Amino acid sequence: MPEAPLTKAETGKLPLIDHLYHPTHDEISRQRLVSAMRKFVLTDMRGKMKSAYDMLEAPAFKARHGHTPRNGREADQAMAKNDVTHFYSSLRYNAQEMVWASVQEPVERALPDMISVARQAAATNPAGGSLTLDPTLEVPRYVSEIDVHLIPGCFHTEHTKDDVAQGAVTAFGGSVFAGGLSWRKDSKGRNGGVGESVAFYLKSKYPDFKPKRILDMGTSSGKNLFPYLDHFPDAEVHGIDVAAPLLRWGHAQAEAYGLPINFSQQNAAHSNFADQSFDLIVSSFFFHELPVKVTRQILAECKRLLRPGGFMFHMELPPHKDLDPFMNFFWDWDTLNNNEPAYTAFRSQNPTALCVEAGFKRENCYEITIPNRATFGDDKFARFIAGEIPAPEHGSGGWYNFGARA
Ligand SMILES: C[S@@+](CC[C@H](N)C(=O)[O-])C[C@H]1O[C@@H](n2cnc3c(N)ncnc32)[C@H](O)[C@@H]1O
């Protein structure tokens, strides 16, 4: 994939808020160590856990129960006393806490300047986007009561006026989180690998589909929304989230990149947009963090908002039904260990059934894993579109998506 460096026009007159962040030599060393720890846990340790499962724990479970584990819960029981699993879990949990701790101090040092740039972006909107915050919006309890992903303060907390700290911690922490794993880039080298891949897929597969209005739900700071404007430059683009600091951060970035995006603080379960006002609704890493009843409300909201012929594409974790017991045990780790209590309940659903329940026709629903564009390469991507080769598995170079055409 050709990688185009950002031009001056793309960074506009507004300083890029990211450039205010200056970790010291020692802070960078610490961040690299944390990225390397995560890579070790998620690749090497995962492989060692799989060997322990295949060679020791699944046969031992069979000796006790007369069958090997039939689902993720039984695989979890089989692995409960396994030493490799304990080592994996403690290393992964500690690495997760260290991700955020490793960026907090440099963010704190730069915070006054970051807030000032975000204010400038909100006052001037040099790229033509907008930021609409709603201080009366009630942040849902499943966000406000826990530190999701173990991020201190979660997504929404504000410690000072016009705070952007959670936006900065999430963004820079996200880079440390994914640092050792090279699959999260968009065509401009930004961390929008999912948006890049889904937008490129839609454009390649449906060349006549030219969305006029695009909405990203649970956009956070919009990193997976930015690539849609690269691929559909004439579209009016909206991103909604309940967390003000993330929206301020994303808006400041987008305005500096020259991307006219309309960020607004809204609950995706009941937005203020008109019926049938979008051609494309997307989300990424969103539903597994919501109680399933909220997922149902949001899919119904998507049905209300989509024009006939419009698409919704939700990148998510693959459901239990698609994976073997070991992989279900592996993915569901976050439910109990990463403050994502809805994770297993979401994965136990049938995404197509949820879409049908929300009012979409079953024959218009899809579940599809799309290659990650940056790592797959455009030649192979074209062969994937032609149906000649499959996408890599979700999490190993592919992104699972579900959705429907209205
Ligand atoms: C894991 S993050 C999503 C990441 C983002 N889509 C990306 O790809 O980088 C989940 C986001 O959903 C937001 N959120 C949770 N419930 C919401 C709701 N009901 N409406 C809108 N946003 C919500 C959270 O504030 C958080 O920013």
Classify residue 345 by its DSSP letter. Answer: H
Query: Do 168 and 277 reside in the same domain of the chain?
Result: yes
Q: What is the 247 CA–ligand 1 centroid distance (Å)?
A: 10
Residue written as token pair 């997504």: 155
Q: What is the 26 CA–ligand 1 centroid distance (Å)?
A: 32
What pLDDT was estimated at residue 6?
41
Residues with Cβ within 8 Å of 265's Cβ and at least 6 positions away in sequence, in order, are: 132, 133, 134, 137, 240, 241, 242, 243, 244, 247
- Is 20 part of a structural domain of the chain? no
Query: Do 122 and 180 reside in the same domain of the chain?
Result: yes
What pLDDT was estimated at residue 98?
97
What pLDDT was estimated at residue 395?
86
Query: Do 353 and 253 reside in the same domain of the chain?
Result: yes
- Is 13 part of a structural domain of the chain? no
Query: Do 99 and 136 reside in the same domain of the chain?
Result: no
Q: What is the 46 CA–ligand 1 centroid distance (Å)?
A: 27
Query: Do 104 and 116 reside in the same domain of the chain?
Result: no
Query: Do 235 and 150 reside in the same domain of the chain?
Result: yes
Best probe residue, ligand 1, of 286, 289, 290, 313 (max atoms within 8 Å of C-beta): 286
Best probe residue, ligand 1, of 220, 273, 313 (max atoms within 8 Å of C-beta): 220
Q: Whose CA is nearest to atom 12 of ligand 1?
A: 218
For the entire predicted model, the pTM comes to 0.94
Query: Do 297 and 329 reside in the same domain of the chain?
Result: yes
Query: Do 54 and 149 reside in the same domain of the chain?
Result: no
Query: Do 176 and 275 reside in the same domain of the chain?
Result: yes
Q: For ligand 1, which residues put their CB under 6 angstroms from it?
A: 140, 143, 155, 194, 217-220, 223-224, 240-243, 246, 267-269, 284-286, 289-290
Best probe residue, ligand 1, of 150, 224, 242, 247 (max atoms within 8 Å of C-beta): 242
b/e 153-179 (16+ beta carbons within 10 angstroms → b): bbbbbbeeeebbbbbbbbbbbbebbbb
CATH code of residue 301: 3.40.50.150
Query: Do 162 and 204 reside in the same domain of the chain?
Result: yes
Into how many domains does the chain fold? 2
- Is 9 part of a structural domain of the chain? no
Query: Do 87 and 152 reside in the same domain of the chain?
Result: no
- Is 1 part of a structural domain of the chain? no
What pLDDT was estimated at residue 183?
63
Q: What is the 171 CA–ligand 1 centroid distance (Å)?
A: 13
Give the range of the structural domain holding residue 36, as residue numbers without chain letter.
25-108
Instruction: Identify the segments of the chain with pLDDT beneath 70.
Output: 1-12, 180-184
What pLDDT was estimated at residue 186?
73
Q: What is the 224 CA–ligand 1 centroid distance (Å)?
A: 11
Residue 91 Cα to chain centre, angstroms: 22
Last residue of a domain, one of 51, 73, 108: 108
